[in-house]
Structure 1
Amino acid sequence: MKIFIVEDDPFFGEALNYQLGLNPDYEIIRFTSGKDCLLNLYQQPAVVSLDYTLPDMTGADILRKIKYKYPKLPVIILSGQEDMETALELIRSGAEDYIIKNDDSIHRLRQLLKNLSEKLELQNEVESLQEEVGKKYNFSNIIGDSIAIQKVFRQMEKAVNSQITVSITGETGTGKELVAKSIHFKSDRKKQNFVAVNVAAIPAELIESELFGHEKGAFTGAAERRIGKIELAHKGTLFLDEIGEMDLNMQSKLLRVLQEREIVRIGGNQTIKVDFRLIIATHKKLFAEVDNRKFREDLYYRLLGLQIELPALRERREDVLQLTDFFLMEYANHNKCKKPELSIEAQKKLANYGFPGNIRELRAIIELACVMCENNMIDVSDIIFQEGDVLGRMLEGQEDTLKGYTRKIVKHYMSKYNNDYDAVAVKLDMGKSTIYKMKKDGEI
């Protein structure tokens, strides 16, 4: 830690230089005037120990000049005068502390520097972690060269360069949260919190407390104050996953937050201003939910913003083997082993599969294949699709008619593909109108 000592008293300055220099982690640079200190700030000291009374200017003047150029640089004032009013004024102007020169002042300074050193080390660790997280969630970790995924990249770049609300749609398992994190960690809010809330995973009666927080005693069980997710996302990004599951009452409260940019904790009276970037995600067709009166139309248009639709894996089949290679490398790194190879037959089997569970399903299949394979070579028999087992169990037991079996299969795929008629029609190679009729007749 580089420390500037600005002290014109030769005896006290030498004592500071010697005592602080006993710590091998400190680099001490000493000046006898404020001007010399200011001219050398380009050396980027970690902290400045500043005598209040110097021959060329006062400590207050130097502090003001330092804070103007380097507002985060800690400055400790040492003074021979015990003047509380001056001390308070200097603290208000940004001084880290005010130490009276006496027999105990060097000890106090050493202790203060020790605390500052630990604080700076923690800040460096946090910044390093944020940098690593930023690398983890950059666009290069969203794998693929297909036209469909390249379109997503272009939309993400537009999202990064603005503060517009982002609406991410796509089937379950397509990577909506990964896209949201990638946008956050490439934006100018990357050093602030990314706060994710899965609306579908929180009971309706608890969602308000989760988002807004509550005061102690606000309701039975509220033993202490709790800060809500919206408040935690201040200056950062709030990601609301599966927002289509939010009930109408909560939707109206969210709309007000987006309009007023303020919240009140449950049981509280204080209005809290909030500044956050909103990213939402859903596998539902929100406009259809508006038509069905399950989603507020005014909130829908408020949330629309920049729309990013993630393609299903079956719509970007050319990316399957590239994603597979990524998951093979991930498995090898995690288990500290050689990366397994993939036979030509295994590659063909993967390329021809529909992946109803999308990327999440591919990852699970590859992880299992890595465990099952022999001699580090994944063969066709190691690629195990759970879909066949599900359909097999469906057809077991009591015999049925062809129409009955057809009804079960269509119902299964409607569930798998979240009632996406187009996807099911393509998967089963049957007319969409046939599926509509089965739905209308109550057969599925």
Structure 2
Amino acid sequence: MKRIFVIDDERYTLDFFEALLMDDEDIVVYKYDSPLKALNDIDKIYPDLVITDILMPEMDGLGVLEFIVKNYPDITVILITAYASIEKAVEAIKKGAFDFITKPFEDLEEVTVRIKKALENSQLKTELKTLQENIKEVYGIENIVAKSKQMLDILSLIKKIARINSNVLITGESGTGKELIARAIHSLSDRKSNRFLPVNCAAIPENLYESLFFGYEKGAFTGAYTNKKGYFEEANGGTIFLDEIAETSLNFQAKLLRVIQERTIKRLGSSDIINVDIRIIAATNKNLKEEVAKGNFREDLYYRLNVINIEVPPLRERKEDIPYLVEYFMKKYSKEFSKDIKKISSEFYKFCYEYEWPGNVRELENIIERCVALEDGEVLTDKYLPNELSQIKTKEVKPYKLAKEEFEKEYIKNLLMITGNSMSEAAKLAGIDISTLHRKVQKYFKK
């Protein structure tokens, strides 16, 4: 149901809009002869559209507009004006009004069309607001689960660098969350209302790099039937995330370096120079210094990209984050799969601590998604772990005393073999007293 406020000190105008829209069952009209009363009701009713006269004694329409634009930017406003005050209507458009309607209302169809378009604009604003909130919910810095010192330091760095335009190089193993960090930087930056464009460089064939990144003009090559923007143009005003940057060719690296230096591009088949305003965030799971030494990566590009470096540690080096990640993903997938899982078993936590997570956070998330999907009870257990991991889970952890004795026995056995069973040589090689060695040999081998 669409809600419309009509504000005017003239009764005729209020009744006109009510009569005009009364046949539309999806619209409710609220009439106000007092602008202050209407503004006071916004929080309670929250209209999709406000139609207000400009000239009113209590408060003029421009004042109503300014209040709404400042405090409720997703509400659409139409101004009503007489022919004599068109200049004020134009001023209102500049200040944020969607449209204006002139009195007297002679063309009813035109008035109706303007209202419908304003409601469509309001719907678009609502959808955009929802989308932005969803993006923040998924990609905001709040959703980077961090309790370890390493990750808290990274979050602190993200906040420091988000609002500057320096290039960033994010390094770390696959699955550590490099793209999530890049998105968090973008979401906190002044570019957040513009596009974040992720590009997997490893997935692009060499012969397509130029057309995909720089775009092309119609007729530039066989199959170029229309003009097309490249990635750099699409990301203009925003952020481009170049994942797996180490997989690019030296030829493309030279072109990327020129874009960074000159902030301009040319489409294939065109001589026109296009200015681009983009922030570049690159990521790799390789050591770029080593790639430079091998001749696989341009040194000058490396320094251009590595203005600010963020090294993301593997999950095995920040195990204090694991219980929080487990709980976060359990809640996420419980909600997604409509499950009623309330707890996580100690056995599941134990497995998560002992496993080394070669696939890092991505592997952890995938395993929890699987276990939640298959779990029928209220407790997330380890019974649905993949077969290859359940074998790791069931490995016996020996008591320290027993493990130590097994090590000593094997160590002394190898020591005597090396020294040809010479007790004195074996004791000397091991750096222990010969009497100690005799006691251990007696203990392990002469029962």
What TM-score, normalized to structure 1?
0.73
1:21 Cα deviation after fit: 5.1
1:144 Cα deviation after fit: 2.5
Q: Which residue of 1 is the match for residue 78 of structure 2?
A: 48
Q: Which residue of 1 is the match for residue 158 of structure 2?
A: 156
| Structure 1 unaligned residues grouped into runs of 5+ | 80-100, 391-444
Is residue 6–residue 48 contact of structure 1 (8 Å, CA) maintained in 2? no
Is residue 348–residue 380 contact of structure 2 (8 Å, CA) maintained in 1? yes
Partner of residue 76 from structure 1, selected from 92, 100, 108: 100
Q: Which residue of 1 is the match for residue 339 of structure 2?
A: 337
Q: Which residue of 1 is the match for residue 86 of structure 2?
A: 59
| AA matched with 1:78 | T
Summarize the Cα distance change of 1:380–1:64 in structure 2 as closer, same or farther, 3 Å threshold: closer
Is residue 21–residue 27 contact of structure 1 (8 Å, CA) maintained in 2? no
Secondary structure of the residue that 2:161 maps to in structure 1? helix
Q: Distance in 1 between matches of 2:375 and 2:62?
A: 66
Partner of residue 359 from structure 1, selected from 361, 365, 370: 361
Partner of residue 256 from structure 1, selected from 252, 255, 258: 258
1:185 Cα deviation after fit: 1.6
Summarize the Cα distance change of 1:43–1:387 in structure 2 as closer, same or farther, 3 Å threshold: closer
Q: Which residue of 2 is the match for residue 180 of structure 1?
A: 182
Q: Distance in 2 between matches of 1:161 and 1:140?
A: 17
1:26-425, aligned counterparts within 5 Å?
26-27=29-30, 31=53, 33=55, 36-42=60-66, 44=68, 46-54=76-84, 58-60=85-87, 62-67=88-93, 70=95, 72-76=96-100, 78=102, 103=106, 105-339=107-341, 341-371=343-373, 375-380=377-382, 382-384=384-386, 386=388
1:190 Cα deviation after fit: 1.6
Q: Distance in 2 between matches of 1:257 and 1:307?
A: 20
Q: Distance in 2 between matches of 1:16 and 1:270?
A: 54
| Structure 2 unaligned residues grouped into runs of 5+ | 33-51, 69-74, 393-447
Q: Distance in 2 between matches of 1:142 and 1:115?
A: 40
Q: Distance in 1 between matches of 2:370 and 2:384?
A: 8
Secondary structure of the residue that 1:206 maps to in structure 2? helix
| AA matched with 1:178 | L
Secondary structure of the residue that 2:336 maps to in structure 1? helix
Q: Distance in 2 between matches of 1:111 and 1:204?
A: 51
Q: Using the aligned pairs only, state the percent identity.
A: 35
| Greater C-alpha radius of gyration | 2
Is residue 174–residue 311 contact of structure 1 (8 Å, CA) maintained in 2? yes
1:164-188 CA-to-partner distances (Å, cap 9, x unmatched) read 2121110000011111112212222
Summarize the Cα distance change of 1:339–1:49 in structure 2 as closer, same or farther, 3 Å threshold: same
Is residue 332–residue 338 contact of structure 1 (8 Å, CA) maintained in 2? yes
1:7 Cα deviation after fit: 11
| AA matched with 2:168 | V
1:388 Cα deviation after fit: 9.2
Q: Distance in 1 between matches of 2:124 and 2:117?
A: 11
Summarize the Cα distance change of 1:144–1:269 in structure 2 as closer, same or farther, 3 Å threshold: same
Q: Distance in 2 between matches of 1:381 and 1:32?
A: 69
Q: Distance in 2 between matches of 1:345 and 1:235?
A: 49
1:377 Cα deviation after fit: 4.5
Secondary structure of the residue that 2:328 maps to in structure 1? helix
1:197-228 CA-to-partner distances (Å, cap 9, x unmatched) read 00001111112211112222221222322221
Is residue 6–residue 17 contact of structure 2 (8 Å, CA) maintained in 1? no
1:233 Cα deviation after fit: 0.9
Q: Distance in 1 between matches of 2:391 and 2:64?
A: 72
Secondary structure of the residue that 1:227 maps to in structure 2? coil
Q: Distance in 1 between matches of 2:383 and 2:81?
A: 77
Secondary structure of the residue that 1:280 maps to in structure 2? strand
Secondary structure of the residue that 1:225 maps to in structure 2? coil
Secondary structure of the residue that 1:349 maps to in structure 2? helix
Is residue 343–residue 378 contact of structure 2 (8 Å, CA) maintained in 1? yes
Q: Distance in 1 between matches of 2:166 and 2:276?
A: 16
| AA matched with 2:86 | G
